Amino acid sequence: MSSSFSGSSETATTTPITTKIITIADLNNLKKDRTILIAGFPGPGLVGSISTSYIIDKLEMYQIAFVESHYISPGVIFIDGKLRHPFRLYANKEGNVCVLVCEAPIMMDGIHFVLDAVMDWAMKNSIEEVMVLDGIPVQGIPDSDRKTVILASENMEQNTNEENKVTDNEVKKDNGRETESALDDGSNPQSNFNRKAIEDSTKKYTTFIGGIAGGLLSACLSNQIPCAAILIPSSSGIPDPEGASLLIESFNNFMKDNKLKIETSQLREQGQKLKKQLEQIIKAEQEQRATGGGGPEDGNVPSHRLMYG
């Protein structure tokens, strides 16, 4: 007698795990081989997410695509009066800048699949260079004199160093005066970035950048796309608009196109207010501990709980 369940294991299907980028706007205005991709992720201080969101706002960018994947934590973001996907791509009207912003966790075992989709999109759309904005985790409130660190790939430096190789036939003269093509201001028709910004970060660092930010840089290296990272020390678990403003100021120094340079006073003001509030909270907590104020076990509230709890 045949069983009604026979073969049920053979007919069972498993939903395939997919990752794809869905385009929702015309990409024809992207400048082929001249478009840069700026990426920010929710790392220490959320500086990557804050800075990229600020850039999107100030450059009046519009959404062109989103990443859909089973590896991205389910959810939506409500922003600018609309529900949006948490992993989005934006472009400016001129088509020379794209921004990648991710505001949801990605499963560790799926980061490679998500980045493969991003790289495939970037190469199909002739992204010329990639810039990652991120934080370096530190404990407590970062020093007031903290500096950004710029780390660039070898081919990024080669691209930008080409601007110094001006041969005699490239130097044009008009009545004994050199034209703009012979300027030594760090401009390079093959790169969107200013070489001097890389040179200014002269220290030699040995470090490891992990997570999706490091994965994106690694994918760029594998696909020979020039890339760089601007990093700033920042506290984990505390939004850091001041750190984001420092990233953008370094970004401004990095960009050759003055139209892409962004004023940061609004972010700096927010950062100063937040820092004062945190200092007041920490001072009050220290005073409470000094007087034996209540804590869950010994009358004290551990400072790390305030910072990272």
**Structural domain harbouring 90:** 17-161+189-265
Question: Does 211 fall in a domain?
Answer: yes
- Identify whether 309 is part of a domain: no
pLDDT, tens digit (0-9, with 9 covering 90-100), for 226-270 = 999 999 999 887 889 899 999 999 999 888 888 889 999 888 888
Cα of 152 vs its chain's centroid, Å: 14
pLDDT of residue 205: 67
In a domain, 1, yes or no: no
Count helices and strands (H / E) in the chain: 9, 12
Single pTM value for the model:
0.75
Whether 275 maps to a domain, the answer reads no
Asked, for residue 278, whether it belongs to a domain, the answer is no
Neighbours of 237 (CB within 10 A): 14
How does pLDDT run across 58-97, given as a tens digit for each residue?
A: 999 999 999 999 999 899 988 878 899 999 999 999 999 9
Query: 3-class DSSP state for residue 217?
Result: helix
What residue ranges of the chain have pLDDT lower than 50? Answer: 2-11, 164-189, 202, 295-309
Is 127 part of any domain?
yes
DSSP state, residue 16: P
How many domains are contained in the chain?
A: 1
Distance of CA 56 to the CA centre of its chain: 12
CATH of the domain at 87: 3.40.50.10900
Residue at 35 is within a domain: yes
CA end-to-end distance (rounded Å), the chain: 62
Query: Could you give the CA distance from residue 279 to residue 272 in angstroms, rounded to a whole number?
Result: 11
**pLDDT value of position 157:** 61
- Which pLDDT belongs to residue 293? 56
- Of 153, 299, 307, give the one whose Cα is nearest residue 240: 307
Give whole-number Cα distances, 16 to 9, 205, 233, in Å: 17, 42, 40
What dihedral angle (degrees, nearest 10) is formed by the CA atoms of 78, 82, 86, 90? -140
**Within a domain: 231:** yes
User: Is 18 in contact with 69 (CB distance < 8 Å)?
Assistant: yes
pLDDT the model gives residue 136: 92
- What's the confidence (pLDDT) of residue 177? 45
pLDDT given at position 58: 92
pLDDT of residue 185: 44
